[in-house]
Structure formats: structure tokens, C-alpha cells
């Protein structure tokens, strides 16, 4: 069940399911790269005061279920998650640049959907089962 938060003069519960892919759908999110990515995304989210409720990748894409405030503008949230993680991963794993000749880790597009209390558990299970397909 989604947590209800209280702000100054408002009450909210906002969750998003976000998905984005590796450029050219290269299957790069494995092993240490995947582990480093998840640590980076949690750090970025913490810095932006966003809570990652669920996160899992499947070689060429990543799924997040996040909880955020009404003040968060979702395109800026995604831009921060993708941009900072890409720069950091290229520094930590210079071999990635050899596979991605354009210098971009992520495909420029992404998927985002709001999550209701009726769909939250279903989306959580879907994200948790990404590697089990």
C-alpha cells in the first residue's frame, strides 16, 4: 500500500513506474555494471529526495517504481537519473564507450505511468520478476 505523505497544506501519494533502455538495446546491464547502476540510481534518488520503491534491470532496460513529491517534474527526474548515471557509469566502466560508439548510454526515450493503489502490487511483482523471464 502506498504511503500517504503530508506537506504544508496538502496530502499526497504519488508513484510512477519508469522504464528506459540502453542505446541500441545492447545487453550491458549485467554483473558489476548492473550492481553499480543500481547503487548510482539510489544515490541520485536520495539526492533528489525521491524514494525508489522497486528497481530491477533485464540486460538492456531498467524498471523503477518511485515515490516522489508533487513538486517533482517527472521529465527532470528522468533526466537526472539517466544523465548522472550515464556519466558515472562511463567513468567507472570505460569499456562501455567501446560498445556504444555514439557516446550515449541510454536511449533518449522512456516510459512513465502513474501507479494507483490498485495497481501498485502488480507493478511491484512485474518489476521484481524482470530477470526471471
Q: Which residues are catalytic?
A: 126
DSSP the chain: -PPPEE-SS-EE-EEEEEEEEBGGG---B-HHHHHHHHHHHHHHHHHTT-EEEEEEE-BSEEEEEEEE-TT--HHHHHHHHHHHHHHHHHHH-TTHHHH-TTS-SB-S--EEEEE-TTTHHHHHHHHHTGGG-
The CA distance from 130 to 32, in Å, is 17
CB 68 within 8 A of CB 13: no
Amino acid at each position: 500500500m502506498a504511503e500517504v505523505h503530508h506537506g504544508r497544506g496538502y496530502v499526497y501519494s504519488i508513484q510512477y513506474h519508469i522504464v528506459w533502455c540502453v542505446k541500441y538495446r545492447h545487453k550491458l546491464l549485467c554483473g558489476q555494471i548492473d550492481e553499480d547502476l543500481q547503487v548510482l540510481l539510489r544515490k541520485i534518488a536520495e539526492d533528489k529526495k525521491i524514494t525508489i520503491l522497486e528497481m530491477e534491470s533485464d540486460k538492456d532496460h531498467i524498471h523503477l517504481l518511485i515515490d516522489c513529491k508533487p513538486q517533482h517534474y517527472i521529465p527532470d527526474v528522468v533526466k537526472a537519473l539517466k544523465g548522472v548515471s550515464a556519466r558515472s557509469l562511463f567513468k567507472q566502466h570505460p569499456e562501455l564507450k567501446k560498445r556504444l560508439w555514439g557516446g550515449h548510454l541510454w536511449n533518449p526515450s522512456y516510459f512513465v505511468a502513474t501507479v494507483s493503489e490498485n495497481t501498485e502490487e502488480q507493478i511491484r511483482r512485474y518489476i521484481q520478476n524482470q530477470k526471471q523471464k
